[in-house]
Amino acid sequence: MAVANFQAAQDYLKFLPVLQNLPKQPFALLYDAEADVLYIDFYSPPKSADDSELTDNDILIRYDRDEIVGLTVLHASQR
């Protein structure tokens, strides 16, 4: 069981280089296994988005005016 948990942790550690470049403030990560979607909110509690943009690689960028407030990563387990 410990080996399986270690493997799962290794998958999450791939995000560390990206997370290091984010603004230094509290944020929230939520993974919905049933939908295979990772929600990244750069504010805790999350801010509402006024607009969004879907990229070619299935990442939804959520905006509040000109500021990115979060990301929604579709098909997260396949990355």
Render pLDDT for 48-75 as a digit per residue (tens, 0 to 9). Answer: 999 999 999 999 999 998 889 999 999 9
Each domain of the chain, given as residue ranges in start order, spans: 23-78
* DSSP bridge pairs for 72: 39, 60
Name the CA radius of gyration of the chain, rounded.
14
Residues 6+ apart with CB under 8 A from 52: 60, 61, 62, 63
Q: What is the pTM of this model?
A: 0.68
